Amino acid sequence: MKYFLFLLSLLATIVMHSQNITDVKIQGNKKLKSSFVKKIAIAKAGAVLDSMQLEEDIKLLKRLPSVSHAYYQVFPSENGNYNVFYNIEENFTIIPSFNVYTSNDGEFAYRLGVYEFNLLGQNMIFGGFYQKDIFSSYGINFRAPFLFSRRFGLAVNHQDLQTLEPVFFDNTTSDYKYRNKSFEVLGLYQPNFNNRFEFGINYFLEEYQYVSGATSLSVPQELSVKKLLYKGIYEYNNLDYNYQYVSGFKSQLNLQYVTSTSDDLPEFLIGWNDFNYYKRVGQKGNWATRMRVGFSSNDDTPFAPFSVDNNLNIRGVGNTIDRGTGAIVVNTEYRHTLYEKGWFALQGNAFVDAGSWRNPGGDFGDFSDADNFRVFPGVGLRFIHKSIFNAIFRIDYGYGVSEKDGQGLVFGIGQYF
């Protein structure tokens, strides 16, 4: 029977490759423009019918924020060739964003925003946020990955972030008001389905102002430095989506070179790679893992770039409790759909977040130092609207395994990774 099915599949492929496409028709879309779908699709009128290309187009469509699900159909046309139909189930794409972070010592921060993920029906993203983390911050973002063609796009970002940041030196801590005001332009290039590149420049002002805590003659109490950041990103993405379930592998490499006009905040190199792996487990389970490995120039500075933070890497640890010039972090969790009906799904998860950091000016032995190592297991819930893009309300509770560690809740929109 298997041999017969294999021959049948092979025969169908041979027949399809011998025929041409009369037309590509888009169905089910309302806001998403048919002209946009045809622009990014590989399958074109007059081209040879290829089932592999149709599958690739469907995978690409399901990755778009504006699409919750997609599939194709092929029907004979009057001239002996075939019409291809791409059937699309759209997402609602004007989405509020909401993140709240708490810890056991009473820290509280939040971020509110709204984004349109299908601007003008062209899958362009535009929106902004307001953040309150003791001080007020904001950001405005525009991203159009297919602005010029299937391969070329553009992104423009502006933000003014202000937070209270701990600075660590001489086994003591002080608090500084930190500000980062930046303008960024990125060129986007996607040569094929699995690979994409970003290249750009970021001009920013970085300021530190002493608030309270320990002081030292070697650590300035005020800094205001203009910088240029040159950025390059490479991503390999082979993820496949089926509503709330994800399977496959993704790797993203981020490299940056930062110039400076001050020796107190010297120029440096920084790079990190996120490795993500997802696997379906049975009908309702999903195992997800992310590993980040990152390093920067190993300057002995209290203003090191990698931080240990609730929102970034370790759920429950608190808001920026440590800094370093290197980081190795692993987040792994099992997600299970507890209830699903129509547009709604309830997902539970159990996770372990673990990481270690290299001290500024330190060595690789710092990664095995117990004082630099954090392990936070925890549990959470996901409330999912299946036809609104990224409409996943997330609640996680993480608890540190060592006596010095605390615990905390992390609320947010979207999966943690």
Both 75 and 109 in one domain: the answer is no
Both 67 and 110 in one domain: the answer is no
Count of other CB atoms within 10 angstroms of residue 188: 21
Q: pLDDT by residue (tens digit) across 199-215?
A: 999 999 999 999 998 88
Domain final position from 32, 63, 89:
89
- Contact present, 68 and 386 (Cβ < 8 Å): yes
Residue 241: pLDDT over 80: yes
Both 344 and 390 in one domain: the answer is yes
Per-residue model confidence (pLDDT) at position 172: 85
Residue 244 has φ and ψ, to the nearest 5°, of -80, -5
CATH of the domain at 389: 2.40.160.50
Per-residue model confidence (pLDDT) at position 402: 83
Both 156 and 34 in one domain: the answer is no
Residue 353: pLDDT over 80: yes
Both 157 and 224 in one domain: the answer is yes
Q: pLDDT by residue (tens digit) across 69-105?
A: 999 999 998 888 999 999 999 999 998 888 776 655 5
Percent share of the chain, pLDDT over 90: 65
End-to-end CA distance of the chain: 42
Residue 7: pLDDT over 90: no
Per-residue model confidence (pLDDT) at position 286: 98
The CA-atom distances, in angstroms, between 222 and each of 71, 173, 215, 228 are: 57, 16, 12, 20
Residue 261: pLDDT over 90: no
Residue 41 has φ and ψ, to the nearest 5°, of -75, 145
Domain final position from 33, 61, 89:
89
Residue 187 has φ and ψ, to the nearest 5°, of -95, 135
Domain final position from 32, 66, 89:
89
Residue 52: pLDDT over 70: yes
Residue 379: pLDDT over 80: yes
Q: How far apart (Å, rounded) are the C-alpha atoms in residues 206 and 181?
A: 7
Both 232 and 264 in one domain: the answer is yes
CATH of the domain at 68: 3.10.20.310
**What count of Cα atoms within 13 Å lies in the side-chain half-sphere of residue 113?**
23
Both 258 and 351 in one domain: the answer is yes
Per-residue model confidence (pLDDT) at position 317: 86
Residue 137: pLDDT over 70: yes
Both 84 and 102 in one domain: the answer is no
Per-residue model confidence (pLDDT) at position 29: 95
- Which structural domain, as residue segments, surrounds residue 154? 94-413
Percent share of the chain, pLDDT over 70: 94
Look at the chain and count its residues: 417
Both 289 and 193 in one domain: the answer is yes
Average pLDDT score over residue span 382-406: 89
Split at pLDDT 50, 70, 90, the class of 312 is confident
Split at pLDDT 50, 70, 90, the class of 169 is confident
Residue type at position 186: L
More confident residue, 5 or 132: 132
Residue 10 has φ and ψ, to the nearest 5°, of -65, -40
Per-residue model confidence (pLDDT) at position 390: 81
Both 276 and 150 in one domain: the answer is yes
Q: In terms of Cα–Cα distance, which of 416, 413, 367 is closest to 391?
A: 413
Both 37 and 8 in one domain: the answer is yes
What average pLDDT does the chain have? Answer: 90
**Which of 109-118, 196-205, 304-313 is predicted most confidently?**
196-205
Both 105 and 60 in one domain: the answer is no
- What is the number of structural domains in the chain? 2
Per-residue model confidence (pLDDT) at position 278: 98
Per-residue model confidence (pLDDT) at position 1: 55
Average pLDDT score over residue span 160-187: 90
Per-residue model confidence (pLDDT) at position 254: 97
Q: Are strands 344-358 and 373-385 parallel, antiparallel or unpaired?
A: antiparallel
